């Protein structure tokens, strides 16, 4: 492990001769964790096992885990209704699809505020414009003063009062984002001591952090010794309940300026200057520095991995160390120095992303240059190495503040909160839209060349990926990156915890490279229907930067998109109403909702739900037995009447079987209009042949669902009126048909 305050590696060279497996077990139970309403069992699975002495690497393709647990409480509806972190839960919980239904409230509780600002009374008015903007783009904002919190949530200190307030309200209010507006002096961070053996306030082991306000379910002082965040002694779980950012200023004018800049950043589309990236890599450590045998560590390694792996589609400017001995081997756009940085950052180009890896102090970040050599070929800190300023807090006033980047600084101390005008605060005031940097000494892998090597280089890398490619806002990206590195690439040392505490967000946790589309309007369309039939629903959403959008429809209200409508890949113009058809295949009550996603993959919130009741279509009742003449003459029209009722009162048509063969011969649908349910209708028919016919009728509703046949009505054509005399005459006429033609006609033989 290497820290950029020039502390050398902490390494165990005997490891390479060990016959013990590394890691010693293929899985590790890390204990319980909590993500708002979700209780988690944390398990680390290591699919690869390495035997250093033999150089053998073993692959474990799968693992079977059985978890035994007891249910100790029933969650209230206020927690079950809380969906603010369901996106994170779906990402990190292995069996989320199985268990998510158990975390749904029978009677959802309406949540009131997803964005909370905590500030001092003197700064409230300076935030009015920002609150209006956030409300305009769909957030439910509440501003809470520190005075109010201290009055209503009294505790042993200010930090605990603030955390108690958030813990008491994050679920019922639906809080997802917390913006603290004020310096560490006015609204203090919680100082944590990751090394349980060292409680010195030495600027290394005492780390102020806002993470204390993000993880609201962990116990930050579970051993009760008054030293928070000790590794192995306190049960911090690093799974945030809320995302926290800070504007570290007590000046009304500065706060107004910064929040207006954030608004402008969000109003710009994710194109043009936002697709420019500046990557700055200084040398942390030379190989065999001071003859310690350590490997070389160059900040350019992280920057090159960002450049080649993450920033496709960006215009990239790089600056690496090109002075002195053992220069950076990578080609770059410009040599790394203060003058070049000032020129590029002050120009009209504008930047969406600026990353750097360098040494740091509270007010500056520095290069490390092996400037001279005494002839032994060993870089030594006896005058051979110099520390030129790379960037300092007096530079930002000249920077381009109209096209400001999101900055990640892999440097020690640059966000030192006790220094009022620390480098991070200076850049947030002028030159940056957001800044992430360390409050104290931060830690890197001493041989970092790949993201899997962990440390602050991997946090920077993963944060950049999330900001540039995964459409995460600053809050999601920072806390997700830190949690990911902590759980995936651990050193299993207190320095893991130190990096979690160190990197705090100066800026708006809800701000990202791309603003999400607005929340669509509640879907419009039928609220009742029949299973198996198609219905049309409409909605519309507006994207704040006029990006094209597609719509994700959730047909059962479970919070998961069931169908994306992207207009056959063309997406829809922002603000233009769209329609979609859907077939509910089974009866039930469905709370349909819809969200919009822009062409960059940024998703907005789900719309208000529309409740649709779908029933199983019941056929019309058996019609009444037809009524009408039971005999008649061939060629004459006769009228028959009947009626049937539909259980859902749908209109009906009648199918007549005039010959009794069980097949509909004629549908009477009232010229396409169908008949009201229960109405008696009449239909006429003419028989062209003699015979006896068992006529019957059935009804079908407007959806085509047919009922049963009526009872038959026998009808004879023509009416039988023969007597014995007539029978004799009929026989005679048949024998002598040409002798008595008129008689044959009158008795009905011709």
**Which neighbouring-strand residues pair with 714?**
694
Residue 127 has pLDDT above 90, yes or no: yes
Per residue in 24-50, pLDDT (tens digit) is: 888 877 778 888 888 888 887 888 888
Ramachandran bin of 291, using left for φ above 0, alpha for ψ from -120 to 50, beta for the remaining angles: left
Each residue's pLDDT tens digit, 227-248: 999 999 999 989 999 999 999 9
Region for residue 507 given its phi and psi (left: phi exceeds 0; alpha: psi -120 to 50; beta: otherwise): left
pLDDT in tens, 584-623: 999 999 999 999 999 988 889 899 999 999 999 899 999 9
Look at residue 89 in the predicted model and tell me its pLDDT: 85
**What domains appear along the chain, each with residue ranges and CATH number?**
2-80+109-506 (3.40.50.1460), 528-615 (2.60.40.10), 637-717 (2.60.40), 720-750 (no CATH)
pLDDT of residue 719: 60
| The pLDDT value given to residue 610 | 97
* DSSP single-letter state for residue 7: B
**Burial call 68-91: b when 16+ CB within 10 Å, e when fewer:** eeeeeeebeebbbbbbbbbebbee
pLDDT computed for residue 736 by the predictor: 61
Mean per-residue pLDDT for 716-722?
68
Closest CA to 37 of 83, 96, 98, 70: 83
pLDDT > 70 fraction of the chain, expressed in percent and rounded: 93
How would you class 392 by CB atoms within 10 Å of its CB: exposed for 0-12, middle for 13-18, buried for 19 or more?
Answer: middle
**In 3D, which of 416, 369, 421, 375 has the Cα closest to residue 394?**
421
Q: Is the peptide bond before 649 cis (omega within 30 degrees of 0)?
A: no
Q: Chain-wide mean pLDDT for the chain?
A: 92
Q: What average pLDDT does the segment 538-548 reach?
A: 94
- pTM of the predicted model over 0.85: no
Q: Considering just the CA atoms, what is the radius of gyration of the chain in Å? A: 39
Asked if 639 contacts 613 with a C-beta cutoff of 8 angstroms, the reply is: no
Dist CA 677 CA 646 (whole Å) = 6
Angle at 119 between CA 117 and CA 122, to 5 degrees: 135
């Amino acid at each position: 492990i290497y820290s950029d305050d020039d502390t050398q590696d902490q390494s165990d060279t005997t490891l390479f001769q060990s016959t013990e497996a590394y890691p010693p077990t293929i899985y590790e139970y890390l204990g319980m964790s909590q993500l708002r309403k979700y209780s988690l069992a944390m398990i680390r699975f290591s699919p690869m096992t390495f035997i250093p002495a033999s150089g053998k690497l073993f692959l474990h393709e799968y693992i079977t885990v059985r978890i035994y647990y007891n249910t100790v409480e029933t969650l209230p509806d206020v927690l079950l209704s809380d969906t603010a972190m369901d996106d994170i839960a779906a990402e990190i919980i292995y069996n989320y699809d199985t268990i998510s239904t158990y975390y749904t409230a029978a009677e959802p509780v309406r949540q009131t505020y997803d964005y909370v600002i905590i500030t001092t009374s003197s700064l409230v008015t300076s935030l009015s414009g920002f609150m209006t903007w956030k409300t305009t783009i769909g957030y439910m904002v509440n501003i809470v003063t520190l005075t109010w919190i201290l009055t209503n949530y009294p505790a042993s200190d200010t930090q605990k009062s603030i955390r108690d307030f958030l813990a008491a309200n994050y679920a019922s209010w639906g809080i997802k984002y917390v913006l603290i507006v004020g310096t560490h002096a006015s609204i203090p961070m919680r100082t944590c001591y990751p090394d349980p053996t060292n409680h010195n306030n030495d600027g290394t082991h005492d780390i102020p952090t806002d993470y204390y306000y993000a993880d609201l379910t962990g116990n930050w002082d579970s051993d009760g010794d008054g030293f928070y965040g000790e590794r192995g002694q306190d049960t911090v779980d690093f799974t945030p309940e809320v995302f926290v950012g800070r504007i570290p200023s007590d000046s009304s004018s500065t706060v107004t300026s910064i929040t207006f800049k954030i608004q402008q950043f969000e109003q710009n589309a994710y194109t043009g200057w936002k697709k420019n990236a500046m990557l700055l890599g200084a040398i942390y450590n030379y190989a065999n520095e001071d003859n310690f045998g350590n490997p070389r560590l160059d900040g350019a390694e992280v920057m090159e991995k960002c450049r080649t792996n993450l920033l496709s589609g960006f215009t990239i400017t790089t600056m690496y160390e090109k002075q002195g001995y053992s220069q950076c081997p990578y080609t770059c756009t410009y040599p790394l120095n203060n003058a070049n940085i000032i020129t590029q950052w002050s120009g009209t180009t504008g930047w969406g992303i600026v990353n750097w890896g360098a040494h740091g102090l509270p007010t500056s970040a520095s290069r490390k240059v092996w400037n001279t050599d005494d002839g032994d070929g060993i870089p030594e800190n006896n005058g051979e190495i110099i520390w030129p300023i790379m960037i300092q807090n007096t530079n930002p006033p000249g920077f381009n503040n109209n096209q400001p980047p999101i900055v990640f600084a892999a440097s020690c101390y640059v966000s030192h909160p006790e220094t009022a005008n620390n480098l991070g605060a200076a850049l947030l005031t002028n030159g940056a839209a957001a800044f992430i940097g360390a409050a104290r000494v931060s830690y890197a892998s001493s041989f970092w060349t790949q993201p899997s090597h962990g440390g602050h280089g991997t946090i920077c890398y993963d944060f950049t990926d999330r900001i540039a490619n995964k459409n995460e806002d600053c809050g999601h990206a920072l806390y997700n990156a830190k949690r990911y590195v902590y759980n995936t690439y651990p050193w299993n040392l207190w320095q893991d915890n130190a990096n979690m505490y160190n990197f705090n967000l100066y800026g708006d946790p809800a701000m990202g490279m791309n603003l999400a589309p607005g929340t669509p309007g509640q879907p419009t369309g039928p609220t009742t229907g029949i299973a198996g039939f198609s219905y049309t629903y409409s909605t519309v959403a507006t994207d704040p930067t006029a990006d094209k959008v597609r719509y994700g429809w959730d047909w059962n209200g479970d919070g998961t998109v069931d169908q994306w409508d992207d207009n056959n890949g063309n997406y829809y113009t922002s603000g233009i109403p769209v329609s979609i058809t859907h077939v509910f295949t089974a009866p039930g009550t469905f709370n349909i909702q819809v969200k919009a996603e822009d062409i960059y993959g940024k998703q907005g919130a789900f719309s208000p739900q529309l409740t649709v009741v779908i029933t199983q279509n019941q056929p019309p009742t058996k019609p009444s037995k037809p009524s009408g003449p039971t005999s008649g003459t061939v060629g004459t029209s006769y009228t028959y009447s009947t009626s049937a009722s539909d259980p859902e009162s749908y209109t009906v048509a009648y199918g007549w079987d005039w010959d009794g063969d069980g097949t509909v011969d004629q549908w009477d649908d009232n010229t396409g209009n169908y008949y009201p349910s229960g109405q008696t209708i009449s239909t006429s028919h003419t028989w062209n042949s003699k015979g006896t016919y068992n006529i019957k009728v059935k009804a079908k509703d407007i959806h085509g669902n047919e009922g049963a046949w009526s009872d038959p009505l026998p009808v004879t054509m023509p009416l039988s009126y023969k007597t014995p005399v007539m029978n004799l005459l009929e026989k005679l006429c048949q024998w002598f048909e040409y002798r008595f033609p008129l008689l044959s006609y009158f008795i009905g033989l011709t």
